[in-house]
Amino acid sequence: MGRTFHLCTITGIPLKAHWSFGLTLLFVAYVVHLHNLTVAASVGFILLVLAMFVCVILHELGHSIAARRYNIETLDIIISPIGGLARLQDIPEEPKKRNSCCPSWANCKCYDCNNCWMLPALHIGHKAYS
């Protein structure tokens, strides 16, 4: 997936950032400069962007934990400006296992419910810094 940089390891899974993740940092700096944000507004905007990427990481960890349940190793999690990717060692052939690790819209599993709290949490955080 191109050049990545190791950030940390979570539950034995390397968390990496794609090189293009740096573009997100440039975008944040551009928005802060363009809108002449106050220090408080700048901090709020930075926290909002970080919170969105924490949500992406938690979502990908959900895939990794589901895969671990079926003894499938997660090679790493890569975040980029357009989202995240949990790279699994193997994609299961058995449909029940595959749907649990890689859910479709029609077949969501319980671990994907971590998405349900993300929107309200981001909304509350946004309102707190607006």
Q: Which residues are catalytic?
A: 60
Q: How far apart are CA 98 and CA 4, in angstroms?
A: 27
Strand partners, 85: 78
3-state secondary structure of 14: strand
Q: Quote the Cα angle for 23-28-33, to 5°.
A: 125
Q: How far apart are CA 69 and CA 27, in angstroms?
A: 38
